[in-house]
Structure 1
């Protein structure tokens, strides 16, 4: 799957991008009609420890899913966002089965 990753206010290292790509590839096991995905990695300038924000937009035919998570680390946020996306994609798949 094509993953467009953008980091805001910092430079993402290769390990983070590879982790992101491998985690997003697992979404294709759940729902194989994913067209593309955009991932925005942001660091918020606040005093709280949970200042890492991950926003993922996934394009599927005739629909778009957006998930935004804020955690202590990018890995945790990506994991949480991908879990939410998996649930949404499974729901979409079930809905399509019922109407087919």
Structure 2
């Protein structure tokens, strides 16, 4: 699967990119027809501690899933987003299986 990481208005370090790619590739265990994923990392200018926004868009044949999480760290956001995507992909797989 192709993983695109987009950091909005800042430079992202290699360790974070590797973590994101590794986490996104794990999603293929749940649904093997994922075409690509785009991960957008943004920092919101607020006084809140939870100002890191992680938005993940996954493209599968005939559909796309978008999950947005706001957390204290990008790693935490990536974890929460990928857990949500796991549930969505499992649901989609079951739905396809029932209709097939």
Q: TM-score range by the shorter chain?
A: over 0.9
Moved over 3 A (4+): none
Q: Deviations over 1:37-71 (max 9, x none)?
A: 11100001100000000000000010000000000
TM-score by length of 2: 0.99
**Counterpart-to-counterpart distance in 2, 1:73 and 1:9:** 16
Offset at residue 10 of structure 1 (A): 1.1
Number of residues paired by the alignment?
Answer: 100
Q: Verify: 1:87 aligned to 2:87, yes or no.
A: yes
The runs of 5 or more residues in structure 1 that have no matched partner are none
- What's the C-alpha RMSD, in Å, of the aligned pairs? 0.4
State how 1:18-97 maps to structure 2 within 5 Å.
18-97=18-97
**3-state SS in 1 of match to 2:90:** helix
TM-score by length of 1: 0.99
